[in-house]
Amino acid sequence: MTDTKSIKFRPPIVTLMGHVDHGKTTLLDAIRKSNVVSREHGGITQHIGAYQIIFEEKPITFIDTPGHAAFEKMRSRGAEIADIVVLVVAANDGVKPQTTEAIKHIKKAEKPTIVAITKVDLPNINTEKAKRELKDQDVVVEGYGGQVPVVEVAAPKGQGISELLEVIELLWQISPSTNLPDDPLEAVIVESFMDKNRGAIVSAIPRQGTLKVGNKINLDGETVTIRALIDDMGQNIKEAPPGKPCEILGFKKALDVGTVIRDTTTTKQSAGSTQATLADIIAKSQEVKDKFKIVIKADVLGSLEAILANLPHNVLVVSQGVGEVQSNDVSFAKLAHAPILAFNVKTTSSVQHQAEREGVVIRPYQIIYELISDMEDVSTGFEAAKQEKKIKAQGQIIAIFTIDGKTIAGTKVTKGKFTVGDSVFVKSQGDTKESKIASLKKFKKDVDTVVAGQECGIGLSADLDFNQGDIIESLG
């Protein structure tokens, strides 16, 4: 008979999920007693990071997933990697869109869940309202007829932190995973990026087996040797047992977030880390002429994936990659007539000067949702510009009169050329009506065409109501 007391279990891997600004990073800050919030632009977590703390002599590993809607793919992967999910809901705000989205991912991943109601130290809070709203989302907490544990916390004051950690440990004791340090390696990539001094940096958490300096991993037919391991405190370590987060040095390229590396594994290089060739850019530009083209450079693959997943449909990425903006990025952008969006990456003065000489715009960003918002605005403006280009002719109705019982629109042509038979749109105070030009008159004489600068009478095939000041347009 096995002595269960002698069995060792690996640390639980816990992720925090929820709406932006509901206090996930502040809660982690209180848990691991380090200052993460001040290092994050706009107070929003930009990448998935992994950290380990010791509570009552037992380690717990935390994955911090971002809370903004733009990070859906990263948040989804965070749920898949974790053993336990802490759903963070602010007591003064309740369930919000990203809370609902997080719940969707939690249910899909079928992970045990704990609800942490944060900011309970603020005035005018309503924790019961938050619990009721969670129940409406089919997350039924204890006290409301369900079995989902709930803990109320005030992170800056340390209130409820120990209780939360205790609940995590209790939940893990129900169905823990055995510690398997000698089993074949299986580690999950939680972040990956290129560093100009150290090369590829891959953050991982072993789920089973032990990562060791000197380990050899087969990757796409090549043998990669782990040159160094660095823990979440920045210390060099010789090995990382199951549940221990660490950075791995030795890979020659960044890996996809969510990739599982094993003793022998074949993975494909992320599409997010590839650079377009000149031929690719030319081909894409010729194939898709009705899209706004951009070049994206991001600090890490997680950021790049989140950006790509949330761009408007009519934005075409002609080149993408991680790391600083390089000279070849400027060359690509010039050829494609595209701006460069630089998310959390530097641009050297020489590259900046090159961009100025070449007429290439480099726009820096530090918060993803600001980049996405700008692209949505650009998308709208781009569509409007395309529509403007399609306008064959335009005129303004300056008078209304009747000839032979038919209402005629006295029009001053301001752009292009109107022709009898053209399909036209009459725009009036937000309302648009469609018809065809049945007749054109100049000085009471029938004509086939009128051009910009001329005045004419337009007879429409449909009997439409129109007013002075309305706009008539025909599209090419």
Superfamily of the domain at 186-269 = Translation factors (2.40.30.10)
Domain segments of the chain as ranges: 8-174, 186-269, 273-379, 390-475
Output the CA torsion sign for 125, 130, 133, 137: positive
Query: What's the fold here for domain 390-475?
Result: Elongation Factor Tu (Ef-tu); domain 3 (2.40.30)
* pLDDT higher than threshold 70 for residue 388: no
Residue 329 to residues 275, 290, 295, 311, 320, Cα–Cα distance (Å)? 9, 22, 8, 20, 9
Give SS3 for 121.
Answer: coil
- pLDDT higher at 314 or 452: 452
Tokens of 22: 């509901």
pLDDT in tens, 244-292: 999 999 888 888 777 778 765 434 444 344 444 555 544 554 444 567 8
Residue 391 CB coordination number (10 Å): 14
- Cβ-in-10-Å burial (0-12, 13-18, 19+) of 157 comes to exposed
Q: What is the DSSP string of 366-395?
A: SSHHHHHHHHHHHHHHHHHHHHHHHEEEEE
For 434, phi then psi, to 5°, come to -110, 140
d(CA 439, CA 389): 25
For 133, phi then psi, to 5°, come to -65, -35
d(CA 27, CA 156): 8
Tokens of 73: 């793919």
Q: Does 273-379 carry CATH code 3.40.50.800?
A: no
pLDDT in tens, 215-246: 888 766 667 889 999 988 888 999 999 999 99
pLDDT in tens, 145-202: 899 999 999 988 889 999 999 999 999 988 777 777 878 888 888 888 887 788 888 8
pTM of the complete model: 0.60
Query: What's the fold here for domain 8-174?
Result: Rossmann fold (3.40.50)
Smallest Cα–Cα separation from 306: which of 330, 272, 340? 272
Question: Would the CATH topology of 186-269 be identical to that of 273-379?
Answer: no
d(CA 90, CA 174): 28
- Spatial neighbors of 405 by CB under 8 A, at least 6 apart, are none
Residue 47: per-residue pLDDT = 55
Give SS3 for 37.
Answer: helix
d(CA 188, CA 195): 20
Q: For the sheet with 292-298, list strands across it.
A: 315-322, 292-298, 340-343, 362-365
Which amino acid makes up residue 13? I
Evaluate whether 44 touches 367 at the Cβ level (below 8 Å). yes
pLDDT in tens, 109-128: 888 999 999 999 998 899 99
Which amino acid makes up residue 128? E
